[in-house]
Amino acid sequence: MPQTDLQLEIAHLLLIDIVGYSKLLVNEQIESVQELGRIVRSTECFRNAEENGKLIRVPTGDGMALLFFRSPEEPVRCALEISHQLRENSNIRLRMGIHSGPVNQVRDVNDTLNVAGTGINVAQRIMDCGDAGH
């Protein structure tokens, strides 16, 4: 049964994609996703947003979407923190897209919180314009 009481919100999104993911060996794919997750979870912006209950995390297979709900500066700070850590500690090549726009919170097939809407679609298109390091 479709949801009829969807609440439209403005989210501040950071989409992250591992460049060349599909060309990696399976064990390298797993290691890259796990390392990226560790790096992201270790950032101050991620921890603060999660502690305040103002963060939605959506895995995308070869990356993730992080949705912040307090300030449009949050995804920018997070992208900078991630980039800084990658330069110091990792060989992972990323591209990232940042956008603020409308989203609806929905439950996916696993009954996990997910999002849909123009905001996430535009953020994906922005990210797709970049290459490694952008």
Average pLDDT over residues 17-45: 94
- Alpha-carbon 26 to chain mean position: 22
- CA 35 – CA 43 distance, rounded (Å): 13
pLDDT on residue 123: 75
pLDDT at 4 over 60: no
- CA 8 – CA 5 distance, rounded (Å): 10
pLDDT at 1 over 50: no
Whether residue 98 lies inside any domain: the answer is: yes
Whether residue 114 lies inside any domain: the answer is: yes
Which residues are CB-neighbours of 14 under 8 A, at least 6 positions away? 65, 66, 68, 75, 78, 79, 96, 97, 98, 123
Q: What is the pLDDT of residues 66-93, one digit of tens each?
A: 999 999 999 999 999 999 998 887 789 9
Q: Which of 12, 35, 16, 25 is nearest to 130 (CA)?
A: 16
Domain encompassing residue 33:
8-128
Average pLDDT over residues 6-10: 85
Computed over every residue of the chain, the mean pLDDT equals: 88
Whether residue 12 lies inside any domain: the answer is: yes
